[in-house]
Chain A
């Protein structure tokens, strides 16, 4: 029944005594003061609970009914506030303590990096601290683990796989490092052979004996640099080392639409921060809900934690990125230029790192349904050599036979 009484107002439990305590009850009812849990203690006394009455009225009502009151208990906020006022220090301390606990609950306590050598670990830690992830940073400012993963793997070349996970206040970064085979050392005797049909342009031979010349036409699999030095009688096997640049030819097909619609980000963005209580958002920073007429919206929620529990309060970051639609129309000449470039890019993507396109010639061009189709051929200078190991013992035997045959 106490629920009927608003929790804001205080209530009292009192002992009313007099010749006829019922008279006091009647006074209360008349005044509209709710009463509850009324018990008769003895002939002259009743115990009752009531809403905190106005003291002036109470005094009058008591004289009218000829009763006396003794307050046994005071309940409710007004009394609580009064009591608390005397112990302000404790209250402030308590709030301060809760505040600190809240901050500490949302702090990153440790970042563990596993599977990285010390140098890489240091590198990872500096990259992480640029993204506000270090022991002692607040959790709201740390981007989510997926973003960290992509950022890290984009910047670290020595890493095969990187995984970031969060467990409460601890972040774990698991790293699988690339293991390179030891270079040079241990490479056995080998030749360099051609991988493609080409015309030899240049030969950079560090070790071995070149068997082809510039401007010579070679076929795939043809020997380019021999892994043997000396003549046929006194020789030594070596691991051939070097680059053979050959001229190769490619044909590429590319299509380019003459008009198209594109969506571009303009680069402008606005960020809004909010605290979300259950489903009710409260903006903290950035109040406009539609800063751009055309924008993409990214929402990220971070639950605020208290000790081990997630509270129903979220720290929400909303980023609006302005975008615009562009209709592009190309003239035939522009489209041709672009197609040529696209063809070169497409080809370079398929070739090795040191390939160089020397010339591009567009052979065929057709426009169908406002799409330009071109077919072009390119002349490329690239490394056409490939190492091919051989067994030195069998090679020796072969040579021996050859020498013997010559002798015979």
Chain B
């Protein structure tokens, strides 16, 4: 109940202010540069990583990234940087 209320609050705040939603609401921010660089902010954890697939756990659901020759350039607490040939980015609900 309380969590839902906070969320409502945040949503309202992001609507009335100019601050981007991803900052206030902890939404994942996915930046794809061409097909080669992909950075994901506000992810939860790495579920699976292999040469052609990266699965990240988000606050709601999962993010599946498919492609080839994947290398994780950096993993930090809030940010992850992927390099390789990105072919698909897909949000998967539980």
Contacts and interface: CB of A to CB of B under 8 A. Distances in A.
B71 A38 contact: yes
Given A26-B45, A29-B45, A38 B50 contact: no
A34 B46 contact: no
Task: Report, as a range, how many residues of chain A touch the other chain.
Answer: 10 to 19
Contact of A29 (B48, B51, B75): B75
A294 to B, nearest CB: 61
Contact of B46 (A1, A25, A37): A25
A313 to B, nearest CB: 38
Contacts of B50: 40
B93 to A, nearest CB: 21
B74 interface: yes
Interface residues of B, number: 16
Nearest to B47: A22
Nearest to B72: A38
B71 A37 contact: yes
A36 B71 CA distance: 9
B49 A34 contact: no
A64 to B, nearest CB: 14
Contacts of B47: 22
B31 to A, nearest CB: 16
Interface in B16-71: 45-51, 70-71
A30 B45 CA distance: 9
Contact of A25 (B49, B51, B70): B49
A32 interface: yes
A26 B44 CA distance: 9
A35 B74 CA distance: 6
Interface string A1-40: 1001000000000000000011001101110101111111
B70 A34 contact: no
B76 A26 contact: no
Nearest to B57: A26
B73 interface: yes
Nearest to A36: B74
A16 to B, nearest CB: 11
Contacts of A32: 77
B71 A34 contact: no
B37 to A, nearest CB: 12
Given A37-B71, A38-B71, A40-B70, A29 B49 contact: no
A198 interface: no
A46 interface: yes
Contacts of A30: 77
B77 A35 contact: no
B48 A35 contact: no
A40 B49 contact: yes
B58 to A, nearest CB: 14
Given A29-B77, A38-B71, 20 more contacts: A22-B46, A22-B47, A22-B48, A25-B46, A25-B75, A26-B45, A28-B75, A29-B46, A29-B75, A30-B77, A32-B77, A35-B74, A36-B72, A36-B73, A36-B74, A37-B73, A38-B49, A39-B70, A39-B72, A40-B51
Interface of B: 45-51, 70-77, 81
